Amino acid sequence: MIKYTICFLKRQSRFLMLNRLHPPIMGLWNGVGGKLEPDEAPLSGVLREVLEETGIPLKSAAYKGMVTWAIDGASHGGMHAFIAEVPDDFDIKTPVLIDEGILDWRELEWILHPENAGVPENLPFFLPDMLAGDDCFHYHFCYSNGTITSHEKTPLSEAILQSS
């Protein structure tokens, strides 16, 4: 069961990212998102989280697939991932402190830099793919001792896509 959503909010080569104040992604720059409410559809959930955390009233976001993770062999969690363009007329003074952390713009090049320890370890594995194409995938990561030990990418079936 996928409990979370995440949205990467893009404007040209920059993304509006959240440096989270609280676990599970504390201290790292991540997309905006959060927990789905009971019976909430992933798109509705992510639009709600984006509005709550940034004030951006998105009308839609592009579905990019699922990211799941297992820790020491036990399935642990997952999120539905989306990408959206920040509307041209939306202005935000950054950096800005919100309840969940600090919102600020980050360059894609910085986000994807391999030596960059400022983003969740799995993010550079899936974000370039999500930006590159229209296909949706399921990305699965296995962690041991707090680090990724293996990962795989499989196409998402039509059936899953329609139900998400």
Ligand X SMILES: Nc1nc2c([nH]c(=O)n2[C@H]2C[C@H](O)[C@@H](COP(=O)(O)OP(=O)(O)OP(=O)(O)O)O2)c(=O)[nH]1
CB of 100 to ligand X, least distance (A): 6
Which listed range, 27-35, 55-63, 108-116, 152-160, lies at the site for ligand X (CB under 6 A)?
A: 27-35
Question: Max Cα separation, the chain?
Answer: 46
Applying CB under 6 A, among 8, 33, 65, 83 the residue interacting with ligand X is 33
Site for ligand X in 38-67 (CB under 6 A): none
Joined together, the tokens standing for residue 8 give 């990467």
In the chain, what are the helix, strand and coil shares in percent, each to the nearest 5? 20, 45, 35
- How many residues contact ligand X, by CB under 6 A? 15
Residue nearest to ligand X (CB): 34
Report whether 29 contacts 17 (CB < 8 A). Answer: yes
CB of 36 to ligand X, least distance (A): 8
The SS3 assignment for 60 reads coil
Nearest partner of 63 among 138, 123, 122, 142, judged by Cα? 138
CB of 153 to ligand X, least distance (A): 15
Which listed range, 31-39, 56-64, 110-118, 149-157, lies at the site for ligand X (CB under 6 A)?
A: 31-39
Which listed range, 29-37, 58-66, 132-140, 151-159, lies at the site for ligand X (CB under 6 A)?
A: 29-37
Site for ligand X in 90-129 (CB under 6 A): 100, 120, 122-123
Residue 24, preceding bond cis, omega within 30 degrees? Answer: yes
Distance CA 164, CA 46 (A): 12
Q: What is 25-59 written as a DSSP string?
A: STTSEE-EEEEPPTT--HHHHHHHHHHHHH----S
Applying CB under 6 A, among 15, 16, 17, 34 the residue interacting with ligand X is 34
If binding is defined by CB under 6 A, does position 17 make contact with ligand X?
Answer: no
Residues making contact with ligand X (CB under 6 A): 4, 6, 24-25, 30, 33-35, 69, 77, 79, 100, 120, 122-123
